[in-house]
Amino acid sequence: MEQASWVPSSVDLGRPSAARMYDYYLGGSHNFAVDREAAKSVEQIFPGMSGAARANRSFLRRAVRYLLSQGIDQFLDLGSGIPTVGNVHEIAQQTNPQARVVYADLEPVAVAHSTALLANNPAAVAIQADLRDPDSVLANDEVRTTLDFDRPIGLLMVAVLHFVPDSDEPHKAIARYREAMAPGSFLAISHGSFDGVSQDGQESGEQVNAIYRRTDSPLVLRTGEEIASFFTGMEIVEPGVVPLPEWRSDSDDAFISAYAGVGRKA
């Protein structure tokens, strides 16, 4: 298979990518036949997947605007994905032109297109990094140059932790990020769940999991209680860790079996 000139040489075009499938759900163009095939298989099981992806982006926008209202002017977006409408820097800099943003993702297509998008934006950068290795992320030169960890930051982990299994110790990673953040910093999370899903729905979910096991990011759905535990050591802001469409909603988002919440470091 011939590799297009804009595709990083490290990309395996024979294996679907969760990030590129997400791009497809959102109507993006930075995905390949293998991603579309996998995404369409998911949509056959869960026809509302595109709506769920849009609901996640809606939560991201609401969370960023809330953090801006709390005085946050710098953001670290972990598992940021492929650029699409309503990126963090666009939302933040519309309110505060001085806002600074670091995008971090392991998917090379996501990083390549983020870097191209940010070419003329000195206050925002994209790095290729693994959120499961916080010491590497926090020590990155571009992260340290762009963000001031002596001041509060907004840490965003939107629709990404459900791709991190317990064996990769996500609680330990989050604790390390929390430790590095100044008091007054915030953590925003959205995460898929089977809570409230019927038995038939859970069986369908297992079929979806089988598809994602073919990707670089197998799916790990957790309960609301398990998701809330990611905020250990932080003050959870109102309305708490709630079904995603209920978090300070400003629209009629589609149903999505997921939770969302924001915590503050005291």
Predicted confidence band at 236 (pLDDT cuts at 50, 70, 90)? very high
Per-residue pLDDT, 191: 95
How much of the chain, in percent, has pLDDT values that exceed 90? 59
Per-residue pLDDT, 251: 66
Mean pLDDT of 42-52: 84
Of the listed ranges 15-29, 126-140, 169-183, 241-255, the one predicted with least confidence: 241-255
Q: What is the pLDDT of residues 115-124, one digit of tens each?
A: 888 999 999 9
Tell me: pLDDT of 206 over 90: no
CA-wise closest residue to 159 among 55, 46, 27, 229: 55
Q: Are strands 235-236 and 258-264 parallel, antiparallel or unpaired?
A: antiparallel
Tell me: pLDDT of 250 over 80: no
Tell me: pLDDT of 7 over 70: no
Tell me: pLDDT of 46 over 90: no
Cα distance between residue 178 and residue 180, in whole Å: 5
Tell me: pLDDT of 10 over 90: no
Per-residue pLDDT, 249: 83
- Phi and psi of 55, rounded to 5°? -65, -40
Tell me: pLDDT of 85 over 90: no
CA-wise closest residue to 162 among 212, 222, 202, 204: 222
SS3 per-residue string spanning the chain: CCCCCCCCCCCCCCCCCHHHHHHHHCCCCCCCHHHHHHHHHHHHHCCCHHHHHHHHHHHHHHHHHHHHHCCCCEEEEECCCCCCCCCHHHHHHHHCCCCEEEEEECCHHHHHHHHHHCCCCCCEEEEECCCCCHHHHHHCHHHHHHCCCCCCCEEEEECCHHHCCHHHCHHHHHHHHHHHCCCCCEEEEEEECCCCCCHHHHHHHHHHHHHHCCCCCCCCCCCHHHHHHHHCCCEECCCCCEEHHHCCCCCCCCCCCEEEEEEECC
CATH topology of domain 18-264: Rossmann fold (3.40.50)
Per-residue pLDDT, 252: 61
Predicted confidence band at 183 (pLDDT cuts at 50, 70, 90)? very high
- Phi and psi of 42, rounded to 5°? -65, -45
Cα distance between residue 254 and residue 218, in whole Å: 24
Per-residue pLDDT, 1: 41
Cα distance between residue 220 and residue 49, in whole Å: 16
Tell me: pLDDT of 144 over 60: yes
Mean pLDDT of 51-55: 86
Per-residue pLDDT, 198: 56
Predicted confidence band at 53 (pLDDT cuts at 50, 70, 90)? confident
Q: What is the pLDDT of residues 18-28, one digit of tens each?
A: 888 888 998 88
